[in-house]
Amino acid sequence: MKRILLLFVICLFVQSVSVAQEGVDFRNISLEEALEQAKAEDKLVFVDCYTPWCGPCHRMLTEVFPRKEAGDYFNSRFVCVKYDMTKDENVELNKKFRVAAYPTFIIIRPDGTVLHKQTGAGDLNYFIPCVEAGLNDSTNLWGLEQEYARGGMSNVRLMAYQAVLADAFDCDKATGIYRELWGRLSDKERLQKEFWRLYTDNYCTFDSPMCEFMLAHLDEIRANAGQEEVDRFLLTRYGGMLEKWIKGLEIRDSISFEDLCSQVERLNLPRLDEMRVLAGWVVNQEVQALTDWIAKKMPEGNSQAVRFYADAFQGISWGHDFNVPENYSSCGSRLAELTVNKMEEQGTNLSSSDLSEYFGALSCFQREMPIELCRRLVVLGDNVLPVLPDDERLPGMKRMFDDMRRVIEQGNK
């Protein structure tokens, strides 16, 4: 029996080792040893610079690199190593490669020449093409640096060089090349599809000449680069900034709210115009106008939309150190009741996700829930909880309804 058990354990161990080796084989060796082994095996070195606190680093190490497809690609081409850059023994390595963001991936020749640097995480469909670009001297960092040093680089190639520098998080060089390229381009070239990326780059800030040029020539840029692509970017960029104002969050960008609104008006995008008006009510603490608008929108909105409205309502207080209008509380009571009405209408069609969003909204509308609303929520919970799936979210849903019961019990004492 002991022999059978031992054999079973050995089989399990062998099986686990086999599974582990399906992914990327990161060797526990120094960089110098990795370079030597790469030379002997006629491979390149692939270095993963990570930190324990970096979420994207963790996803790469636990979700992407263990996949068989990753192992098939990397193990045949590279000697792979990974280094925790928070450890003292890797301080010099950090300085040598000027790692400023995590994760950073570096491709190195056996002679120590750095071919490419890439920051950021992604799935294999995104990541492997990035590595492929790092293997090609016409697209990798080393090749583009050589081409730039020789002089005579075309504007299109200069933009490619700037993009690679930005991906490597070499911010100083990327900024310099960006400015050089912008200065070289004629106004006509700045309108072309080939250079649309200049406006999506982080260096094109809201208060920059590049942004002003884009706004002044938006119709031509839309026609050349594609209106759908341009508008998708504008919705993301300006919508993200407006959302911060709507939620009363800290704004670190240099543009003022007034200037932001002025730019949004020039975009002719209805969704952003609506957000601009909404943000204006929050900034100016026009709680009645905001409440009336939310009450009108509530019937047609889903749980995520209601939570967004609630964040805006709460933004009136968060953005002003809780110095709020006198009617703030009464308006919140009105919206809380409308939210409970909406929950009751959905009834047993409510999902755990819906409940989480609605409870989050209620906490924004009213800091202390009235007993009457608690009673209605408990009745709702008695109907909804039995039909919810028994998954990891169910205990949290039960706790929320239990909290309502405790509020009722305390109120009855």
Structure tokens given for 351: 């999902």
Q: 77 with 42: CB under 8 angstroms?
A: no
**CA torsion, ordered 273, 274, 276, 281, to nearest 10 deg:** 150
- 3-state class (DSSP) for residue 54: coil
Q: Which of 327, 239, 335, 336 is nearest to 279 (CA)?
A: 239
Residue 57 neighbours by CB under 8 Å, 6+ apart: 48, 50, 51, 102, 103, 121
Q: Is 296 left (phi over 0), alpha (psi -120 to 50) or beta?
A: alpha
**Both structure tokens of 358:** 């609605």
Q: Are 407 and 362 in contact (CB under 8 A)?
A: no
Query: SS3 of 31, please?
Result: helix
Write out the H or E segment, with its range, that includes residue 181: helix 171-184
Cα distance between residue 297 and residue 381, in whole Å: 25
Which sequence positions are flagged as catalytic? 54, 57
What are the counts of helices (DSSP H) followed by strands (DSSP E) for the chain? 22, 4
